[in-house]
A and B are shown apart, each in its own frame.
Chain A
Amino acid sequence: MDFFPFSDLSIHRKLIRISQISSAVALLLSCSVFVSYDWFTSRHSLAQSLLVNGDIVGYNSTSALIFNDASSATETLKAFQSRINIISAAILNAKGQLFASYQRSDQTHPIVLPSDFPYHDKKYQFSNGFLFIYDPILSEGTVIGYVYIQSDLQTIHSRLERYLVIALGILLISFMGAALITAPLAQRISRLEEALQESEERLRLMIESVTDYAVYMLSPTGHIASWNKGAERLKGYNVDEVLGHHFSKFYSSEDQVNKKPEKELEIASTQGRVEEEGWRIRKDGSRFWANTIITPIRDKNGRLRGFSKVTRDMTERKQAEENSRLLTENLLKQTEQLKIANKELESFSYSVSHDLRAPLRAIDGFSKRIIEEYASKMDDEGRRLLNVITRNTRQMNELIEGLLSFSRLARQEPNLKPLDMSRIVRSIIDDLLASEPGRILDLTLKPLAFGNGDPLLIKQVWVNLLSNAFKFTRHTAKPSIEVGSFAKEGEIVYYVKDNGAGFDMAYADKLFGIFQRLHSTNEFEGTGIGLANIHRIIARHHGRVWAEGKINGGATFYFSLPKGENE
């Protein structure tokens, strides 16, 4: 609205002024037309009426002119006294010489006829603010004289003055009327405008103050038309540095060569929106990962007026994605390496199983053959030494077996099933008793809670625990073994208690380590793999193992299994 001379006024006042001015202009125009029309018609009618008067006076003065009776003509002229606007009048003879005259009472100077008298083509003339009449007097078609009248235009002037006063009055009234009519409307509009301005200001401030997003406008050609704080912060340019510049300056040179910015505008204007992510360049040359949304702005006729562009800095997210990608990659790599390691371990166990046992078998086999076939050629010491060899091969075989079973457990996924522990334990005890006929034992088998576990693996746990109990009570005077279970915070605990050799609690933490033994092989046979296997099996069931005991005071071994959902 800069083209208005009072652009600094409020819209309210502007509206009133506009309505006042328009009504004044209309009024002035119509008044001036009327006044000028009246001006001309009143002058004309004044002239006509004076001509009529002149005609009458002329007619009445005919005889006076013919008879050269000037006083009678003077008398006739006095008829003009009734017309106060006539300043002076005269009868002229045919030669235009003064014959009789009349002057208004306020006139002091004698009559001076205008220099251009007599007129030839017209009977009156306005000049110098006066009306001059020059009416010929005819007698039988011959001009015998003239009536001269000089009249002022006082009546017309006062009439015009009245008109002006009226016009001014109307103007004033219309001014006030316009103000009165416009005021409420103007107030409403100004209120609307204020609201509009306020919301515009709010919006502007909002966009302006957004610092996390670069929000700016582009011209239809992609030149920057506005700039907010976020844009300044994100791109590093201030308003003056970018206004009017093409927005492609934020793109990498590669993107610029590929016309990526132009293509984005093209897509935005044809598809109504374009969202894109990519690297952008800051003023200082550093780059950031941007998420950009370009939306075309059209007027109500659908003409493209520009674009709005919202840019977010997603570098952190990109970084996080990148990190998580690297992490995943590393994890996959590690998993792969683990798989390879597992494979190697597997082939290691395989070769241990096959290759280590073959020579062992040969040592044992050939030693036995010496014992059997060459016993007579050896003394007792020779035979004892060979027996040491075969005993060690047996021991080594057990170690290999243990190692293999331990490594097999690592690869085996437990296949969980509800297990009747009482039944399992009873059948194992039966087997153990059968393998040691004549063993006298005080056995207490309490009812055992069902548990969730892999049947084969859990059976192995029980076998190990129970055979340990059998084994370590072998030298006890009154051996007793107790098996039981109890529930405890989300798990079921099973235990095997004996009154056998026991162990020193100081070494309790070593019990479950592989090949860890707390007794000599002479005392109790074993490889030290049994409890390690128990530990591994129970760990794979997400349970715990522990033990209590004291030397020659017996031992209690516990293992727990997590309660299933249905328990």
Chain B
Amino acid sequence: MTTTQPAEILLVEDNPDDAELTLNAFQRSVLKNQIHHVKDGVEALEFIFATGKYASRAADAPPRVILLDLKLPKITGLEVLRRIRADERTKLLPVVVLTSSREERDVIESYKLGVNSYIVKPVDFAKFTESITKLGEYWLFLNEVPFVT
């Protein structure tokens, strides 16, 4: 199977510095997939469900993986996760929580809501870059997702 269109990664991150570092890490890696960055929960949902300013986006072309920060303005990461899992179209969509918080309750809550992975962003830049690279490789190359029409 060949893809002319690179698989999309949705990065939900309100902190522009974190976002830049993440995008930078992706650029350094071999991954040349198209990454889309949204800055809050509302925008994330609009992108995922092709509504609002993303209404023109094809709703049947969801991102391959969503990298979701938890602490977000307007709608929190957990709420975004809950709505993704509540919707028939997106409930099987791989979601990776990428956050600074290693709080037990956040981890538990995320897994309860059906997150596929929970990653704590390392402070050390080298480790951070390594984590992002591994993350991308895993979810885009190693992991198989169910074929959803």
Contact = CB atoms under 8 A, between A and B. Distances in A.
Interface string A348-376: 01100111011111101111110000000
Interface in A478-502: none
B124 A358 contact: no
A354 B101 contact: yes
Given A368-B125, A369-B24, A369-B125, A358 B104 contact: no
B116 interface: no
Which of A349, A359, A364 has the most C-beta atoms of chain B within 10 angstroms of its own C-beta? A364
A72 interface: no
Contacts of A359: 17
A354 B123 contact: no
A364 B124 contact: yes
Contacts of B121: 357, 361
B103 A393 contact: no
Contacts of A368: 125-126
A349 B70 CA distance: 16
B128 A365 contact: yes
B129 to A, nearest CB: 8
A459 B124 CA distance: 26
A357 B71 CA distance: 13
B21 A361 contact: yes
A226 interface: no
A95 to B, nearest CB: 160
Contact of A364 (B15, B24, B70, B123): B123
Contact of A358 (B15, B102, B103, B125): B15
A353 B100 contact: yes
A361 B99 contact: no
Interface residues of B, number: 20
B13 to A, nearest CB: 10
A365 B19 CA distance: 11
Nearest to B21: A365
B109 interface: no
Interface residues on A, range: 20 to 34
**Interface of A (DSSP majority class):** helix
Interface string B1-45: 000000000000001011001001000000000000000000000
Interface in B50-105: 70-71, 99-104
Interface string A298-313: 0000000000000000
Contacts of B100: 353-355, 357-358, 361
B103 A353 contact: yes
A359 B101 CA distance: 13
A367 B21 CA distance: 11
Given A394-B124, A397-B123, A366 B101 contact: no
A408 interface: yes
A173 B17 CA distance: 137
Which of A354, A359, A362 has the most C-beta atoms of chain B within 10 angstroms of its own C-beta? A354
Nearest to B17: A362
A369 B125 CA distance: 9
Interface in A323-371: 349-350, 353-355, 357-362, 364-369
Nearest to B106: A350
Contact of B124 (A366, A397, A404, A408): A397
Given A354-B71, A393-B123, 7 more contacts: A354-B100, A354-B101, A361-B128, A365-B17, A365-B21, A366-B17, A369-B24
List the 7 shortest-distance A-B pairs measured between CB atoms, nearest first: A362-B17, A368-B125, A365-B125, A397-B123, A365-B21, A354-B100, A357-B100
22 contacts: A353-B101, A353-B102, A353-B103, A354-B71, A354-B101, A357-B123, A358-B15, A358-B17, A360-B123, A361-B100, A361-B123, A362-B15, A362-B18, A362-B21, A365-B17, A365-B21, A365-B24, A365-B128, A368-B125, A369-B125, A394-B123, A404-B102
